[in-house]
A = this chain, B = another copy of it.
Amino acid sequence: MQFSSSLLENAVNEFAKLPGIGKKTALRLVLHLLKQDSKEVGNFSEVIAKMRSEIRFCHRCFNVADADICSICSNSIRKQEVICVVESIRDVIAIESTQQFNGTYHILGGVISPLDGIGPDQLTIDALIARVKKEATEEIIFALNPNIQGDTTIYYIQKKLELSSIRITTIARGIAFGGELEYADEMTLARSLQNRLPVENYVTSR
């Protein structure tokens, strides 16, 4: 791509560094910003810079926060004794969107994956263990992606905890609502048969 302005070129190159954004899309975004009011673009740029420099991570659950403790951990209405263990901030947002969970979170920052060079030390597992030992935790819910790495991580943490007094659960795996049995993979179908629910439970849980 040939540009007649280095200012434009630099801006396009910066946008093209973002994941999933190629040169053409970057150009479209930059030309859009060029049409906007100078003040608005200034605001865009300022908000991004401020976000990166001022954002903090909750000391307790490692979620993004505006202070030392995030708004979920400091919310006394939420059940602080229930911890939902997730991989990333994105998962917290997904679960919060369901408005069905009223406990707290713990963000691992990934899952154990030796092939990618990620071991337990790179994750916040030790902090989770320490947190559980310190606090009066009643239940730990694992909400990790259902794959080998997720299962390994659950197994590892469960072994490390060795606390029989705490209820340890994982989110249900099965056929997605609206999905079709015919197209489900064998693993999912097999698990959903193993973990079948009494119909009265199913009806009330809807």
What residues make up the interface of A, taking CB atoms closer than 8 Å to B?
1-8, 10-11, 14, 17-21, 25, 27-34, 36, 38, 41-55, 58, 63-66, 70-72, 88-90, 92-93, 96-97
For A7, what are the chain B residues with a Cβ–Cβ distance below 8 Å? 50-51, 54-55, 64, 66
For chain A, what secondary structure do more than half of its interface residues adopt (helix, strand, loop), or is it mixed? helix
Residue of B nearest to A23 (CB): B93
Least CB distance, A153 to chain B, in whole angstroms: 20
Name the 10 nearest CB pairs between A and B, nearest first. Answer: A45-B49, A41-B52, A2-B96, A11-B51, A45-B45, A5-B64, A4-B70, A7-B51, A45-B48, A14-B44
Q: Given B4, B25, B47, which contacts A64 in the complex, CB threshold below 8 Å?
A: B4
Complexed CA–CA distance, A21 and B26 (Å):
12
Residue of B nearest to A65 (CB): B5
**Given contact pairs A10-B51, A32-B19, A53-B42, A27 touches B66 in the complex (Cβ within 8 A):** no
Complexed CA–CA distance, A55 and B5 (Å):
8
For A28, what are the chain B residues with a Cβ–Cβ distance below 8 Å? 19-20, 90
